Amino acid sequence: MPQLRQSALRNRLLAALTAEDFARLAPHLAETPMTIRECVITSDQPIAHAYFLEDGLVSLIADTREGRVEIGLVGREGMIGVPLLLGTDRTPHNAMVQADGTALRIAAAELCAALDASAALRGVLGRYVQTLIVQVGQTVYANADYNIEARLARWILMTQDRLGRDELPITHDFMAMMLGVRRPGVTTALHILEGTRLIQAKRGRVIVLDRAGLMDFASDSYGPAEAEYERLFGEG
Protein backbone atom coordinates (compact mmCIF):
# COMPACT_ATOMS: atom_id res chain seq x y z
CA MET A 1 0.00 0.00 0.00
CA PRO A 2 1.37 3.48 -0.84
CA GLN A 3 2.49 5.56 2.10
CA LEU A 4 -0.45 7.40 3.64
CA ARG A 5 -0.41 11.18 3.57
CA GLN A 6 -2.32 12.69 6.47
CA SER A 7 -3.35 15.74 4.44
CA ALA A 8 -4.99 13.54 1.81
CA LEU A 9 -7.26 11.64 4.20
CA ARG A 10 -10.94 12.42 4.68
CA ASN A 11 -11.33 11.00 8.18
CA ARG A 12 -11.55 13.95 10.54
CA LEU A 13 -10.08 12.15 13.55
CA LEU A 14 -6.92 11.18 11.69
CA ALA A 15 -6.72 14.73 10.34
CA ALA A 16 -6.91 16.11 13.89
CA LEU A 17 -3.87 14.15 15.11
CA THR A 18 -0.44 15.64 15.48
CA ALA A 19 2.04 14.55 12.82
CA GLU A 20 3.83 12.50 15.47
CA ASP A 21 0.69 10.62 16.51
CA PHE A 22 -0.36 10.05 12.92
CA ALA A 23 3.09 8.56 12.31
CA ARG A 24 2.45 6.14 15.18
CA LEU A 25 -0.68 4.83 13.49
CA ALA A 26 0.16 5.12 9.79
CA PRO A 27 2.30 1.95 9.44
CA HIS A 28 -0.54 -0.11 10.88
CA LEU A 29 -3.42 1.40 8.88
CA ALA A 30 -4.71 -0.65 5.95
CA GLU A 31 -7.37 0.51 3.51
CA THR A 32 -10.35 -1.83 3.49
CA PRO A 33 -13.70 -1.78 1.65
CA MET A 34 -16.89 -1.43 3.68
CA THR A 35 -19.76 -3.36 2.10
CA ILE A 36 -23.40 -2.71 2.93
CA ARG A 37 -24.79 -5.03 5.63
CA GLU A 38 -21.28 -6.17 6.60
CA CYS A 39 -20.98 -6.52 10.36
CA VAL A 40 -17.56 -5.11 11.27
CA ILE A 41 -18.04 -5.56 15.02
CA THR A 42 -20.18 -8.35 16.44
CA SER A 43 -21.83 -8.04 19.83
CA ASP A 44 -20.09 -9.70 22.78
CA GLN A 45 -17.15 -10.84 20.64
CA PRO A 46 -13.54 -9.63 20.93
CA ILE A 47 -12.93 -6.55 18.78
CA ALA A 48 -10.12 -7.43 16.38
CA HIS A 49 -9.84 -4.09 14.57
CA ALA A 50 -10.81 -0.45 14.78
CA TYR A 51 -11.93 1.42 11.65
CA PHE A 52 -11.42 5.06 10.71
CA LEU A 53 -14.02 5.72 8.02
CA GLU A 54 -13.02 7.55 4.87
CA ASP A 55 -16.43 7.19 3.22
CA GLY A 56 -19.69 5.37 3.84
CA LEU A 57 -21.78 4.86 6.97
CA VAL A 58 -21.80 2.43 9.86
CA SER A 59 -24.72 2.01 12.27
CA LEU A 60 -24.26 1.07 15.91
CA ILE A 61 -27.11 -1.34 16.60
CA ALA A 62 -28.75 -2.73 19.72
CA ASP A 63 -30.58 -6.04 19.48
CA THR A 64 -33.77 -5.90 21.51
CA ARG A 65 -36.77 -8.17 22.01
CA GLU A 66 -38.68 -5.95 19.60
CA GLY A 67 -35.93 -6.14 16.97
CA ARG A 68 -32.85 -4.23 15.95
CA VAL A 69 -32.63 -0.49 16.55
CA GLU A 70 -29.90 1.98 15.68
CA ILE A 71 -28.37 3.87 18.60
CA GLY A 72 -25.51 5.64 16.82
CA LEU A 73 -24.30 6.62 13.36
CA VAL A 74 -20.68 6.94 12.26
CA GLY A 75 -19.14 8.31 9.09
CA ARG A 76 -15.90 10.00 8.16
CA GLU A 77 -16.13 12.17 11.29
CA GLY A 78 -15.45 9.18 13.49
CA MET A 79 -14.31 5.64 14.10
CA ILE A 80 -15.63 2.19 14.89
CA GLY A 81 -14.10 0.42 17.87
CA VAL A 82 -14.67 2.98 20.63
CA PRO A 83 -14.70 0.30 23.39
CA LEU A 84 -10.97 -0.14 22.76
CA LEU A 85 -10.44 3.47 23.79
CA LEU A 86 -12.20 2.74 27.09
CA GLY A 87 -10.12 -0.27 28.05
CA THR A 88 -12.46 -3.08 27.02
CA ASP A 89 -12.33 -5.48 24.08
CA ARG A 90 -16.03 -6.02 23.40
CA THR A 91 -19.48 -4.44 23.38
CA PRO A 92 -23.11 -5.64 23.52
CA HIS A 93 -23.78 -3.73 20.28
CA ASN A 94 -23.17 -4.57 16.63
CA ALA A 95 -21.58 -2.24 14.08
CA MET A 96 -23.11 -2.74 10.62
CA VAL A 97 -22.24 -1.01 7.36
CA GLN A 98 -25.22 0.96 6.12
CA ALA A 99 -23.69 2.58 3.02
CA ASP A 100 -20.74 1.28 1.00
CA GLY A 101 -17.43 3.01 1.50
CA THR A 102 -13.86 2.56 2.63
CA ALA A 103 -12.05 2.70 5.95
CA LEU A 104 -8.54 2.58 7.31
CA ARG A 105 -8.35 -0.46 9.57
CA ILE A 106 -5.94 -0.97 12.44
CA ALA A 107 -5.49 -4.03 14.64
CA ALA A 108 -6.79 -3.59 18.16
CA ALA A 109 -3.40 -4.40 19.69
CA GLU A 110 -1.63 -1.78 17.56
CA LEU A 111 -4.17 0.91 18.44
CA CYS A 112 -3.96 0.13 22.15
CA ALA A 113 -0.16 0.24 22.05
CA ALA A 114 -0.28 3.66 20.40
CA LEU A 115 -2.76 4.89 23.01
CA ASP A 116 -0.45 3.72 25.79
CA ALA A 117 2.46 5.55 24.16
CA SER A 118 0.74 8.91 23.64
CA ALA A 119 -1.46 10.91 25.99
CA ALA A 120 -2.15 13.35 23.13
CA LEU A 121 -3.54 10.56 20.93
CA ARG A 122 -5.69 9.34 23.79
CA GLY A 123 -6.93 12.90 24.29
CA VAL A 124 -8.02 13.36 20.66
CA LEU A 125 -9.82 10.04 20.49
CA GLY A 126 -11.27 10.61 23.96
CA ARG A 127 -12.88 13.82 22.70
CA TYR A 128 -14.52 11.75 19.99
CA VAL A 129 -15.98 9.46 22.65
CA GLN A 130 -17.56 12.56 24.20
CA THR A 131 -19.22 13.50 20.89
CA LEU A 132 -20.55 9.97 20.46
CA ILE A 133 -22.01 10.01 23.97
CA VAL A 134 -23.82 13.26 23.15
CA GLN A 135 -25.11 11.79 19.87
CA VAL A 136 -26.48 8.70 21.62
CA GLY A 137 -28.07 10.93 24.26
CA GLN A 138 -29.76 12.98 21.55
CA THR A 139 -31.06 9.77 20.01
CA VAL A 140 -32.64 8.78 23.32
CA TYR A 141 -34.19 12.24 23.61
CA ALA A 142 -35.50 12.17 20.05
CA ASN A 143 -37.00 8.70 20.47
CA ALA A 144 -38.73 9.75 23.70
CA ASP A 145 -40.08 13.16 22.74
CA TYR A 146 -40.43 13.38 18.94
CA ASN A 147 -42.73 11.82 16.37
CA ILE A 148 -41.52 9.53 13.60
CA GLU A 149 -41.38 12.30 10.99
CA ALA A 150 -39.11 14.53 13.12
CA ARG A 151 -36.84 11.60 13.96
CA LEU A 152 -36.61 10.68 10.30
CA ALA A 153 -35.75 14.28 9.41
CA ARG A 154 -32.97 14.21 12.03
CA TRP A 155 -31.57 10.97 10.70
CA ILE A 156 -31.61 12.17 7.08
CA LEU A 157 -29.66 15.25 8.16
CA MET A 158 -27.14 13.11 10.04
CA THR A 159 -26.72 10.86 7.02
CA GLN A 160 -26.24 13.83 4.71
CA ASP A 161 -23.62 15.28 7.09
CA ARG A 162 -21.58 12.10 6.90
CA LEU A 163 -21.89 11.36 3.18
CA GLY A 164 -21.57 14.97 2.04
CA ARG A 165 -24.12 14.75 -0.75
CA ASP A 166 -27.84 15.29 -1.34
CA GLU A 167 -28.70 11.85 -2.75
CA LEU A 168 -28.57 9.30 0.03
CA PRO A 169 -28.64 5.49 -0.30
CA ILE A 170 -31.30 4.67 2.28
CA THR A 171 -33.53 1.60 2.24
CA HIS A 172 -36.86 1.25 4.00
CA ASP A 173 -35.41 -1.60 6.07
CA PHE A 174 -32.61 0.57 7.46
CA MET A 175 -34.99 3.46 8.12
CA ALA A 176 -37.34 1.14 10.01
CA MET A 177 -34.43 -0.19 12.07
CA MET A 178 -33.16 3.32 12.77
CA LEU A 179 -36.56 4.52 13.96
CA GLY A 180 -37.48 1.32 15.77
CA VAL A 181 -40.77 1.13 13.86
CA ARG A 182 -42.38 -1.05 11.23
CA ARG A 183 -42.06 -0.33 7.51
CA PRO A 184 -45.59 1.17 7.20
CA GLY A 185 -44.55 3.84 9.73
CA VAL A 186 -41.51 4.67 7.58
CA THR A 187 -43.67 4.91 4.47
CA THR A 188 -46.05 7.33 6.18
CA ALA A 189 -43.19 9.48 7.48
CA LEU A 190 -41.58 9.63 4.03
CA HIS A 191 -44.89 10.69 2.47
CA ILE A 192 -45.21 13.52 5.01
CA LEU A 193 -41.68 14.81 4.33
CA GLU A 194 -42.27 14.49 0.59
CA GLY A 195 -45.59 16.28 0.86
CA THR A 196 -43.87 19.31 2.36
CA ARG A 197 -41.21 19.14 -0.40
CA LEU A 198 -38.35 18.53 1.99
CA ILE A 199 -37.22 15.32 0.27
CA GLN A 200 -37.85 13.15 -2.73
CA ALA A 201 -38.03 9.43 -2.00
CA LYS A 202 -37.07 6.89 -4.64
CA ARG A 203 -36.43 3.16 -4.46
CA GLY A 204 -33.45 2.73 -2.15
CA ARG A 205 -32.68 6.46 -2.19
CA VAL A 206 -33.71 9.72 -0.58
CA ILE A 207 -32.87 13.06 -2.19
CA VAL A 208 -32.64 16.08 0.10
CA LEU A 209 -34.47 19.04 -1.43
CA ASP A 210 -34.67 21.47 1.50
CA ARG A 211 -32.06 21.02 4.22
CA ALA A 212 -33.17 24.10 6.15
CA GLY A 213 -36.72 22.79 6.14
CA LEU A 214 -35.58 19.43 7.49
CA MET A 215 -33.73 21.21 10.29
CA ASP A 216 -36.90 23.09 11.20
CA PHE A 217 -38.85 19.83 11.12
CA ALA A 218 -36.30 18.04 13.33
CA SER A 219 -36.27 20.97 15.78
CA ASP A 220 -33.74 20.58 18.61
CA SER A 221 -33.50 16.82 18.20
CA TYR A 222 -30.83 17.78 15.64
CA GLY A 223 -28.03 20.21 16.39
CA PRO A 224 -26.62 19.74 19.90
CA ALA A 225 -24.53 16.69 18.99
CA GLU A 226 -23.31 18.38 15.83
CA ALA A 227 -22.41 21.55 17.74
CA GLU A 228 -20.47 19.50 20.30
CA TYR A 229 -18.46 17.83 17.54
CA GLU A 230 -17.60 21.17 15.98
CA ARG A 231 -16.67 22.59 19.38
CA LEU A 232 -14.15 19.82 19.87
CA PHE A 233 -12.96 19.26 16.30
CA GLY A 234 -13.91 22.33 14.30
CA GLU A 235 -11.18 24.36 12.65
CA GLY A 236 -9.86 27.24 14.70
Res 179 pLDDT > 80 = no
Q: What's the confidence (pLDDT) of residue 180?
A: 73
DSSP string, 55-120: EEEEEEEEEETTEEEEEEEE-TTSEE-HHHHTT-S--SSEEEEEEEEEEEEEEHHHHHHHHHH-HH
Torsions phi, psi of 52, nearest 5?
-100, 110
**145-233 belongs to which CATH class?**
mainly alpha
H helix and E strand count, the chain: 10, 9
- Residue 58 vs residue 64, higher pLDDT: 58
pLDDT, mean of residues 145-156: 91
Res 22 pLDDT > 60 = yes
* Exposed/middle/buried for residue 77 (C-beta within 10 Å: 0-12, 13-18, 19+): buried
What pLDDT band is residue 178 in, cutting at 50, 70 and 90? confident
What pLDDT band is residue 143 in, cutting at 50, 70 and 90? confident
Q: What's the confidence (pLDDT) of residue 188?
A: 87
Q: What's the confidence (pLDDT) of residue 74?
A: 97
What pLDDT band is residue 1 in, cutting at 50, 70 and 90? low
**pTM (two decimals):** 0.93
Q: What's the confidence (pLDDT) of residue 177?
A: 73
Cα–Cα distance, 226 to 119 (Å, whole number): 25
Res 236 pLDDT > 60 = no
Q: What's the confidence (pLDDT) of residue 170?
A: 83
What pLDDT band is residue 171 in, cutting at 50, 70 and 90? confident
DSSP state of 4: P
What pLDDT band is residue 69 in, cutting at 50, 70 and 90? confident
* CATH architecture, domain defined by 6-141: Sandwich (2.60)
What is the residue extent of each domain of the chain?
Answer: 6-141, 145-233
Please, are residues 174 and 186 in contact by the beta-carbon 8 Å criterion? no
